Amino acid sequence: MVQLLRLLVVLLWITSLTDGSDVTQTDILWETQGDNATMSCTHTKDASHFQMYWYRQLPGETMELIVFTRSGVKHHDFGEFSSKDKFSATKPDAESGTFTVKDLQPGDKGLYFCAVSQHSDTHTQEEDEHKPAATPLHPAAQTVGGAGGQQTL
pTM score, whole prediction: 0.67
Give CA–CA dist 92/76, Å, rounded: 12
The pLDDT score that the predictor gives to residue 34 is: 94
Domains of the chain: 23-138 (2.60.40.10)
Residue 106 gets the label, from left (phi > 0), alpha (psi -120 to 50) or beta, of alpha
93 Cα distance to chain centroid: 17
pLDDT band per the 50, 70, 90 thresholds, residue 99: very high
Instruction: Specify the higher pLDDT residue, 128 or 73.
Output: 73
Contacts of 37 (CB under 8 A, 6+ apart): 7, 9, 29, 31, 100, 101, 104, 108, 137
The torsion region of residue 140 among left (phi > 0), alpha (psi -120 to 50) and beta comes to alpha
Task: List pLDDT tens digits, range 35-55.
Answer: 999 999 999 888 888 899 999
Contact between 59 and 110 under an 8 Å Cβ cutoff? The reply is yes
DSSP 17-43: SS--TTEEE-------TTS-EEEEEEE
| Stretch 100-118: mean pLDDT | 90
3-state DSSP assignment of residue 79: helix
Which residues does 148 contact at the CB level (< 8 Å), separation at least 6? Answer: none
